[in-house]
Structure 1
Amino acid sequence: MSTKNILLAIVAVVVLAAVVYTLTGTDSPEVYFEKVEKERDKQFKYLRFNEDSPLSKEQKDQLGTLSFYPIDPQYRVRAKMVAIEDRKVLELPMSDGSVGKYIKHSFLEFDLKGSPQKLLLLQSLNEIDKRNFFLAFADATSGVETYGGGRYLNLRQDGKNSIEVDFNLAYNPYCAYNPDFACPLPPRENLMEVAIEAGEKDYLAKKD
Protein backbone atom coordinates (compact mmCIF):
# COMPACT_ATOMS: atom_id res chain seq x y z
CA MET A 1 0.00 0.00 0.00
CA SER A 2 1.36 3.45 -0.94
CA THR A 3 2.05 6.14 1.63
CA LYS A 4 -0.87 8.14 0.21
CA ASN A 5 -3.29 5.24 0.69
CA ILE A 6 -2.01 4.65 4.23
CA LEU A 7 -2.63 8.29 5.12
CA LEU A 8 -6.11 8.14 3.61
CA ALA A 9 -6.86 4.99 5.60
CA ILE A 10 -5.71 6.66 8.83
CA VAL A 11 -7.86 9.71 8.12
CA ALA A 12 -10.86 7.47 7.43
CA VAL A 13 -10.41 5.64 10.74
CA VAL A 14 -10.14 8.92 12.64
CA VAL A 15 -13.26 10.31 10.96
CA LEU A 16 -15.19 7.10 11.63
CA ALA A 17 -14.15 7.14 15.29
CA ALA A 18 -15.30 10.75 15.59
CA VAL A 19 -18.67 9.92 14.03
CA VAL A 20 -19.18 6.94 16.35
CA TYR A 21 -18.18 9.07 19.33
CA THR A 22 -20.71 11.74 18.33
CA LEU A 23 -23.56 9.29 17.71
CA THR A 24 -23.08 7.30 20.90
CA GLY A 25 -22.55 10.33 23.08
CA THR A 26 -19.87 8.43 24.98
CA ASP A 27 -17.67 10.67 27.08
CA SER A 28 -14.03 10.13 27.77
CA PRO A 29 -13.32 9.38 31.46
CA GLU A 30 -11.87 12.87 31.91
CA VAL A 31 -14.91 14.59 30.39
CA TYR A 32 -17.31 12.41 32.37
CA PHE A 33 -15.61 13.08 35.72
CA GLU A 34 -15.56 16.80 34.94
CA LYS A 35 -19.31 16.77 34.20
CA VAL A 36 -20.13 15.06 37.50
CA GLU A 37 -17.89 17.44 39.43
CA LYS A 38 -19.61 20.41 37.78
CA GLU A 39 -23.04 19.10 38.76
CA ARG A 40 -21.87 18.61 42.34
CA ASP A 41 -20.41 22.10 42.43
CA LYS A 42 -23.66 23.50 41.05
CA GLN A 43 -25.57 21.71 43.82
CA PHE A 44 -23.27 23.11 46.50
CA LYS A 45 -23.56 26.67 45.19
CA TYR A 46 -27.34 26.40 45.08
CA LEU A 47 -27.51 25.27 48.69
CA ARG A 48 -24.90 27.77 49.85
CA PHE A 49 -25.98 30.91 48.00
CA ASN A 50 -29.45 30.63 46.46
CA GLU A 51 -32.29 32.40 48.25
CA ASP A 52 -34.54 29.37 47.62
CA SER A 53 -32.08 27.03 49.34
CA PRO A 54 -33.58 24.85 52.10
CA LEU A 55 -30.70 25.85 54.37
CA SER A 56 -31.10 28.51 57.02
CA LYS A 57 -28.72 31.48 57.02
CA GLU A 58 -26.77 29.85 59.84
CA GLN A 59 -26.52 26.57 57.92
CA LYS A 60 -25.36 28.42 54.80
CA ASP A 61 -22.64 30.20 56.75
CA GLN A 62 -21.44 26.87 58.17
CA LEU A 63 -21.59 24.94 54.90
CA GLY A 64 -18.07 24.38 53.66
CA THR A 65 -18.56 21.33 51.44
CA LEU A 66 -21.01 18.57 50.65
CA SER A 67 -20.02 14.95 51.19
CA PHE A 68 -20.02 12.55 48.25
CA TYR A 69 -18.82 9.07 47.41
CA PRO A 70 -15.92 8.98 44.95
CA ILE A 71 -17.13 9.05 41.34
CA ASP A 72 -17.52 5.48 40.12
CA PRO A 73 -18.45 4.89 36.44
CA GLN A 74 -19.85 1.45 37.37
CA TYR A 75 -22.86 3.28 38.83
CA ARG A 76 -23.64 4.86 35.45
CA VAL A 77 -25.90 2.44 33.60
CA ARG A 78 -28.19 2.23 30.59
CA ALA A 79 -31.67 1.14 31.68
CA LYS A 80 -34.44 -0.34 29.55
CA MET A 81 -37.76 1.46 29.96
CA VAL A 82 -40.66 -0.99 30.23
CA ALA A 83 -43.84 1.03 29.79
CA ILE A 84 -46.73 0.66 32.22
CA GLU A 85 -49.85 0.33 30.08
CA ASP A 86 -52.26 1.56 32.75
CA ARG A 87 -50.42 4.67 33.95
CA LYS A 88 -52.28 5.35 37.15
CA VAL A 89 -51.59 8.18 39.57
CA LEU A 90 -49.51 7.07 42.53
CA GLU A 91 -50.10 8.72 45.89
CA LEU A 92 -46.64 8.87 47.36
CA PRO A 93 -46.25 9.46 51.13
CA MET A 94 -44.40 12.65 52.04
CA SER A 95 -42.02 13.12 54.95
CA ASP A 96 -44.54 15.33 56.78
CA GLY A 97 -47.37 12.81 56.53
CA SER A 98 -49.06 14.40 53.53
CA VAL A 99 -49.34 12.83 50.06
CA GLY A 100 -47.74 13.75 46.75
CA LYS A 101 -49.15 12.62 43.41
CA TYR A 102 -47.06 11.22 40.55
CA ILE A 103 -47.72 9.25 37.38
CA LYS A 104 -46.44 5.66 37.36
CA HIS A 105 -44.75 5.85 33.98
CA SER A 106 -42.53 2.79 33.50
CA PHE A 107 -40.16 0.32 35.06
CA LEU A 108 -36.42 0.60 34.66
CA GLU A 109 -34.59 -2.68 34.13
CA PHE A 110 -30.80 -2.78 34.27
CA ASP A 111 -27.82 -4.63 35.66
CA LEU A 112 -25.73 -3.03 38.37
CA LYS A 113 -22.38 -4.69 38.97
CA GLY A 114 -23.84 -7.96 37.71
CA SER A 115 -27.01 -7.71 39.81
CA PRO A 116 -30.37 -7.28 37.98
CA GLN A 117 -32.42 -4.31 39.20
CA LYS A 118 -35.96 -3.07 38.58
CA LEU A 119 -37.12 0.38 39.69
CA LEU A 120 -40.30 2.40 39.25
CA LEU A 121 -39.93 5.58 37.20
CA LEU A 122 -42.26 8.44 38.08
CA GLN A 123 -43.33 11.63 36.39
CA SER A 124 -44.76 14.75 37.95
CA LEU A 125 -48.39 15.52 37.14
CA ASN A 126 -47.29 19.03 36.19
CA GLU A 127 -44.34 18.00 34.01
CA ILE A 128 -44.48 19.79 30.66
CA ASP A 129 -41.53 18.03 29.02
CA LYS A 130 -42.55 14.37 28.85
CA ARG A 131 -38.93 13.29 28.59
CA ASN A 132 -38.22 14.35 32.17
CA PHE A 133 -38.64 11.89 35.04
CA PHE A 134 -38.18 11.53 38.77
CA LEU A 135 -36.57 8.61 40.57
CA ALA A 136 -36.71 8.32 44.37
CA PHE A 137 -34.86 5.36 45.88
CA ALA A 138 -33.48 3.97 49.11
CA ASP A 139 -30.76 1.35 49.41
CA ALA A 140 -28.57 -0.48 51.90
CA THR A 141 -26.65 2.73 52.69
CA SER A 142 -29.82 4.62 53.69
CA GLY A 143 -29.75 5.59 57.35
CA VAL A 144 -26.09 4.58 57.59
CA GLU A 145 -23.94 6.65 55.25
CA THR A 146 -26.75 8.31 53.32
CA TYR A 147 -29.99 10.03 54.27
CA GLY A 148 -32.49 7.63 55.81
CA GLY A 149 -35.38 8.98 53.76
CA GLY A 150 -33.72 8.02 50.49
CA ARG A 151 -32.19 10.00 47.65
CA TYR A 152 -33.31 11.36 44.31
CA LEU A 153 -32.31 11.39 40.65
CA ASN A 154 -33.66 13.65 37.93
CA LEU A 155 -33.62 11.66 34.70
CA ARG A 156 -34.14 12.65 31.08
CA GLN A 157 -35.01 10.11 28.42
CA ASP A 158 -32.25 10.02 25.83
CA GLY A 159 -33.18 6.86 23.92
CA LYS A 160 -36.30 5.47 22.26
CA ASN A 161 -36.89 2.88 24.96
CA SER A 162 -33.94 3.50 27.24
CA ILE A 163 -32.55 6.06 29.64
CA GLU A 164 -29.25 6.71 31.37
CA VAL A 165 -29.26 6.28 35.14
CA ASP A 166 -26.22 7.75 36.88
CA PHE A 167 -26.21 7.18 40.62
CA ASN A 168 -23.12 9.38 40.90
CA LEU A 169 -25.59 12.26 40.54
CA ALA A 170 -27.90 11.06 43.34
CA TYR A 171 -28.74 13.92 45.68
CA ASN A 172 -30.48 14.47 49.00
CA PRO A 173 -34.06 15.75 49.27
CA TYR A 174 -34.56 19.13 50.96
CA CYS A 175 -35.83 17.50 54.15
CA ALA A 176 -32.36 16.00 54.65
CA TYR A 177 -31.20 19.55 55.38
CA ASN A 178 -34.32 21.07 56.87
CA PRO A 179 -37.17 19.01 58.43
CA ASP A 180 -39.60 21.85 57.72
CA PHE A 181 -39.63 20.76 54.07
CA ALA A 182 -41.98 18.00 52.90
CA CYS A 183 -40.30 15.48 50.58
CA PRO A 184 -41.70 12.42 48.78
CA LEU A 185 -40.49 9.10 50.14
CA PRO A 186 -39.35 6.33 47.79
CA PRO A 187 -42.11 3.94 46.66
CA ARG A 188 -41.84 0.37 47.89
CA GLU A 189 -40.72 -0.74 44.40
CA ASN A 190 -37.58 1.37 44.83
CA LEU A 191 -36.33 0.03 48.16
CA MET A 192 -33.11 -1.51 46.86
CA GLU A 193 -31.36 -4.32 48.70
CA VAL A 194 -27.96 -3.42 47.27
CA ALA A 195 -25.72 -0.63 48.55
CA ILE A 196 -25.53 2.33 46.18
CA GLU A 197 -22.14 3.71 47.18
CA ALA A 198 -22.41 6.63 44.81
CA GLY A 199 -23.75 10.15 44.92
CA GLU A 200 -24.34 12.37 47.93
CA LYS A 201 -23.87 11.19 51.50
CA ASP A 202 -25.91 12.23 54.53
CA TYR A 203 -25.67 15.93 55.37
CA LEU A 204 -26.33 15.37 59.07
CA ALA A 205 -23.74 12.59 59.32
CA LYS A 206 -21.21 15.05 57.96
CA LYS A 207 -22.08 17.50 60.74
CA ASP A 208 -21.53 14.97 63.56
Structure 2
Amino acid sequence: MKTNQIILIFVSVVILAAVVYTLTSAEDPETYIEKIEAERDRQFKFVRYNIDSPLTDEQKRDFKELNFYPINPEYKVRARLLPIEEKKVRELPMTDGTKERYIEYAFAEFELGGKTNRLLLLQAMNEADKRNFFLAFADDTSGGETYGGGRYINARQDGKNSISIDFNLAYNPYCAYNPDYACPLPPKENLLEIPVEAGEKNYKE
Protein backbone atom coordinates (compact mmCIF):
# COMPACT_ATOMS: atom_id res chain seq x y z
CA MET A 1 0.00 0.00 0.00
CA LYS A 2 1.39 3.38 -0.96
CA THR A 3 2.28 5.94 1.71
CA ASN A 4 -0.25 8.50 0.49
CA GLN A 5 -3.00 5.87 0.70
CA ILE A 6 -2.05 5.09 4.30
CA ILE A 7 -2.09 8.77 5.17
CA LEU A 8 -5.50 9.18 3.51
CA ILE A 9 -6.91 6.23 5.46
CA PHE A 10 -5.44 7.58 8.71
CA VAL A 11 -6.93 11.03 8.12
CA SER A 12 -10.31 9.48 7.29
CA VAL A 13 -10.26 7.48 10.53
CA VAL A 14 -9.39 10.57 12.56
CA ILE A 15 -12.20 12.57 10.94
CA LEU A 16 -14.68 9.73 11.51
CA ALA A 17 -13.64 9.45 15.15
CA ALA A 18 -14.08 13.19 15.60
CA VAL A 19 -17.56 13.07 14.07
CA VAL A 20 -18.58 10.12 16.24
CA TYR A 21 -17.23 11.86 19.34
CA THR A 22 -19.13 15.03 18.49
CA LEU A 23 -22.37 13.12 17.99
CA THR A 24 -22.08 10.86 21.03
CA SER A 25 -20.12 12.82 23.61
CA ALA A 26 -21.98 14.21 26.57
CA GLU A 27 -21.11 15.83 29.83
CA ASP A 28 -19.92 13.32 32.40
CA PRO A 29 -22.86 12.59 34.78
CA GLU A 30 -20.76 13.14 37.90
CA THR A 31 -19.43 16.44 36.57
CA TYR A 32 -22.96 17.53 35.69
CA ILE A 33 -24.29 16.71 39.15
CA GLU A 34 -21.37 18.53 40.78
CA LYS A 35 -22.09 21.60 38.64
CA ILE A 36 -25.77 21.66 39.66
CA GLU A 37 -24.90 21.09 43.32
CA ALA A 38 -22.40 23.96 43.20
CA GLU A 39 -25.02 26.27 41.72
CA ARG A 40 -27.53 25.26 44.40
CA ASP A 41 -24.94 25.94 47.09
CA ARG A 42 -24.26 29.37 45.59
CA GLN A 43 -28.00 30.06 45.53
CA PHE A 44 -28.37 29.02 49.17
CA LYS A 45 -25.50 31.26 50.29
CA PHE A 46 -27.00 34.21 48.41
CA VAL A 47 -30.43 33.77 50.00
CA ARG A 48 -28.95 33.11 53.45
CA TYR A 49 -26.22 35.76 53.63
CA ASN A 50 -26.39 38.35 50.85
CA ILE A 51 -27.56 41.86 51.63
CA ASP A 52 -29.79 41.72 48.52
CA SER A 53 -31.49 38.52 49.65
CA PRO A 54 -35.31 38.62 49.66
CA LEU A 55 -35.34 37.18 53.19
CA THR A 56 -35.86 39.46 56.14
CA ASP A 57 -33.30 39.41 58.95
CA GLU A 58 -35.75 37.37 61.01
CA GLN A 59 -36.18 34.83 58.20
CA LYS A 60 -32.41 34.55 57.77
CA ARG A 61 -31.94 33.57 61.40
CA ASP A 62 -34.13 30.49 60.96
CA PHE A 63 -33.17 29.69 57.37
CA LYS A 64 -31.44 26.31 57.02
CA GLU A 65 -31.80 25.16 53.39
CA LEU A 66 -33.52 25.53 50.06
CA ASN A 67 -35.87 22.79 48.94
CA PHE A 68 -35.07 21.07 45.61
CA TYR A 69 -36.12 18.07 43.56
CA PRO A 70 -33.38 15.45 43.10
CA ILE A 71 -31.08 16.30 40.19
CA ASN A 72 -32.34 14.57 37.04
CA PRO A 73 -30.33 14.98 33.79
CA GLU A 74 -33.46 14.12 31.76
CA TYR A 75 -34.75 17.59 32.60
CA LYS A 76 -31.92 19.22 30.70
CA VAL A 77 -33.39 19.50 27.21
CA ARG A 78 -32.19 20.67 23.84
CA ALA A 79 -34.74 23.01 22.28
CA ARG A 80 -35.21 24.23 18.73
CA LEU A 81 -35.24 28.00 18.41
CA LEU A 82 -38.19 29.34 16.45
CA PRO A 83 -37.46 33.07 15.95
CA ILE A 84 -40.26 35.63 16.08
CA GLU A 85 -39.84 37.66 12.92
CA GLU A 86 -41.72 40.74 14.10
CA LYS A 87 -40.52 41.17 17.64
CA LYS A 88 -42.96 42.95 19.93
CA VAL A 89 -42.86 44.33 23.44
CA ARG A 90 -44.72 42.16 25.94
CA GLU A 91 -45.99 43.61 29.21
CA LEU A 92 -45.91 40.91 31.86
CA PRO A 93 -48.24 41.35 34.82
CA MET A 94 -46.46 41.56 38.17
CA THR A 95 -47.64 40.07 41.46
CA ASP A 96 -48.42 43.58 42.76
CA GLY A 97 -50.63 44.48 39.79
CA THR A 98 -48.02 46.53 37.90
CA LYS A 99 -46.44 45.48 34.60
CA GLU A 100 -42.89 44.96 33.35
CA ARG A 101 -41.80 45.19 29.71
CA TYR A 102 -39.86 42.53 27.80
CA ILE A 103 -39.12 41.79 24.15
CA GLU A 104 -40.67 38.68 22.62
CA TYR A 105 -37.62 37.04 21.04
CA ALA A 106 -38.31 33.42 20.07
CA PHE A 107 -40.06 30.20 20.96
CA ALA A 108 -38.12 27.22 22.27
CA GLU A 109 -39.61 23.88 21.20
CA PHE A 110 -38.57 20.63 22.90
CA GLU A 111 -39.67 17.14 23.86
CA LEU A 112 -40.44 16.42 27.52
CA GLY A 113 -43.02 14.42 29.41
CA GLY A 114 -43.95 12.44 26.31
CA LYS A 115 -45.04 15.47 24.30
CA THR A 116 -43.78 18.44 22.32
CA ASN A 117 -43.70 21.62 24.41
CA ARG A 118 -43.11 25.24 23.48
CA LEU A 119 -41.97 28.13 25.68
CA LEU A 120 -41.70 31.83 24.91
CA LEU A 121 -38.23 33.28 25.44
CA LEU A 122 -38.25 36.90 26.56
CA GLN A 123 -35.44 39.42 26.69
CA ALA A 124 -35.02 42.32 29.09
CA MET A 125 -35.39 45.71 27.44
CA ASN A 126 -31.87 46.70 28.52
CA GLU A 127 -30.16 43.33 27.88
CA ALA A 128 -26.76 43.97 26.30
CA ASP A 129 -25.99 40.32 25.44
CA LYS A 130 -28.60 39.18 22.91
CA ARG A 131 -27.89 35.53 23.73
CA ASN A 132 -29.39 35.87 27.23
CA PHE A 133 -33.09 35.23 27.83
CA PHE A 134 -35.59 35.38 30.66
CA LEU A 135 -37.78 32.29 30.94
CA ALA A 136 -40.71 32.32 33.33
CA PHE A 137 -42.90 29.20 33.36
CA ALA A 138 -45.52 27.35 35.36
CA ASP A 139 -46.40 23.65 35.18
CA ASP A 140 -48.56 21.01 36.82
CA THR A 141 -46.54 21.22 40.05
CA SER A 142 -47.23 24.97 40.44
CA GLY A 143 -49.36 25.73 43.46
CA GLY A 144 -48.53 22.28 44.92
CA GLU A 145 -44.93 21.22 45.33
CA THR A 146 -43.67 24.40 43.66
CA TYR A 147 -44.47 28.09 43.94
CA GLY A 148 -47.89 28.97 42.52
CA GLY A 149 -46.58 32.04 40.72
CA GLY A 150 -44.23 29.96 38.59
CA ARG A 151 -40.46 29.62 38.43
CA TYR A 152 -37.64 31.17 36.42
CA ILE A 153 -34.69 29.98 34.34
CA ASN A 154 -31.84 32.12 33.06
CA ALA A 155 -31.38 30.71 29.55
CA ARG A 156 -28.47 31.40 27.23
CA GLN A 157 -28.35 30.55 23.53
CA ASP A 158 -25.58 28.02 22.89
CA GLY A 159 -26.30 27.01 19.30
CA LYS A 160 -27.12 28.73 16.03
CA ASN A 161 -30.70 27.46 15.97
CA SER A 162 -30.94 25.78 19.35
CA ILE A 163 -30.73 26.40 23.07
CA SER A 164 -30.25 24.25 26.18
CA ILE A 165 -32.91 24.58 28.87
CA ASP A 166 -32.02 23.00 32.21
CA PHE A 167 -35.04 22.70 34.49
CA ASN A 168 -32.72 21.48 37.27
CA LEU A 169 -31.70 25.15 37.49
CA ALA A 170 -35.28 26.45 37.81
CA TYR A 171 -35.48 28.81 40.77
CA ASN A 172 -38.11 30.72 42.71
CA PRO A 173 -38.75 34.44 42.25
CA TYR A 174 -38.18 36.72 45.22
CA CYS A 175 -41.89 36.95 45.97
CA ALA A 176 -41.91 33.22 46.80
CA TYR A 177 -39.88 34.12 49.90
CA ASN A 178 -41.25 37.56 50.69
CA PRO A 179 -44.60 38.99 49.48
CA ASP A 180 -43.20 42.52 49.75
CA TYR A 181 -41.43 41.89 46.42
CA ALA A 182 -43.13 42.19 43.03
CA CYS A 183 -42.30 39.52 40.44
CA PRO A 184 -43.27 38.92 36.80
CA LEU A 185 -45.82 36.17 36.24
CA PRO A 186 -45.31 33.65 33.41
CA PRO A 187 -46.95 34.57 30.08
CA LYS A 188 -49.90 32.40 29.04
CA GLU A 189 -47.70 30.70 26.42
CA ASN A 190 -45.52 29.30 29.21
CA LEU A 191 -48.13 27.37 31.19
CA LEU A 192 -46.89 23.82 30.64
CA GLU A 193 -49.43 21.00 30.81
CA ILE A 194 -46.90 18.58 32.28
CA PRO A 195 -45.31 18.31 35.74
CA VAL A 196 -41.73 19.58 35.81
CA GLU A 197 -40.33 17.72 38.80
CA ALA A 198 -36.96 19.45 38.71
CA GLY A 199 -35.40 22.55 40.19
CA GLU A 200 -36.51 24.43 43.28
CA LYS A 201 -39.60 23.50 45.28
CA ASN A 202 -41.70 25.71 47.56
CA TYR A 203 -39.91 27.78 50.16
CA LYS A 204 -40.67 26.50 53.65
CA GLU A 205 -40.22 28.87 56.60
Question: TM above 0.5, one fold?
Answer: yes
* Structure 2, gaps ≥5 residues long: 1-9
CA distance in 1, matches of 2:138, 2:119: 11
CA distance in 1, matches of 2:143, 2:107: 25
Matched, 1:166 2:166: yes
Secondary structure at 2:21 match in 1: helix
1:53 corresponding residue in structure 2:
53
1:80 corresponding residue in structure 2:
80
Secondary structure at 2:165 match in 1: strand
Secondary structure at 2:110 match in 1: strand
| C-alpha contact 1:172 1:200 (8 A) present in aligned 2 | yes
2:68 corresponding residue in structure 1:
68
Matched, 1:32 2:32: yes
CA distance in 2, matches of 1:95, 1:24: 44
**Moved runs in structure 1, 4+ residues, more than 3 A?**
none
**What's the CA shift for 1:74?**
1.0
Secondary structure at 1:36 match in 2: helix
Matched, 1:179 2:199: no
CA distance in 1, matches of 2:67, 2:79: 27
| C-alpha contact 1:74 1:113 (8 A) present in aligned 2 | no
**What's the CA shift for 1:20?**
3.3
| C-alpha contact 1:137 1:186 (8 A) present in aligned 2 | yes
2:133 corresponding residue in structure 1:
133
**What's the CA shift for 1:113?**
3.3
**What's the CA shift for 1:58?**
1.0
1:111 corresponding residue in structure 2:
111
The one-character-per-residue Cα deviations of 1:77-116 (angstroms, maximum 9, x if unpaired) are 0000100011000000001000000000000100003211
Q: Which amino acid aligns with 1:172?
A: N
Secondary structure at 2:182 match in 1: coil
| C-alpha contact 2:139 2:192 (8 A) present in aligned 1 | yes
| C-alpha contact 1:152 1:173 (8 A) present in aligned 2 | yes
**What's the CA shift for 1:25?**
7.3
1:4 corresponding residue in structure 2:
none
**What's the CA shift for 1:24?**
8.0
Count of residues in correspondence between the two structures: 192
TM-score by length of 2: 0.89
| C-alpha contact 2:80 2:162 (8 A) present in aligned 1 | yes
Q: Which amino acid aligns with 1:196?
A: V
Q: 1:174 to 1:164 in 2, by over 3 A?
A: same
| C-alpha contact 2:113 2:194 (8 A) present in aligned 1 | no
Matched, 1:20 2:14: no
Q: Which amino acid aligns with 1:187?
A: P
CA distance in 2, matches of 1:100, 1:132: 17
CA distance in 2, matches of 1:134, 1:25: 28
1:101 corresponding residue in structure 2:
101
CA distance in 2, matches of 1:125, 1:114: 34
| C-alpha contact 2:90 2:104 (8 A) present in aligned 1 | yes
Q: 1:128 to 1:101 in 2, by over 3 A?
A: same
1:3 corresponding residue in structure 2:
none
Q: Which amino acid aligns with 1:144?
A: G
**What's the CA shift for 1:26?**
2.7
**What's the CA shift for 1:141?**
0.5
* Structure 1, gaps ≥5 residues long: 1-8
Identity %: 64
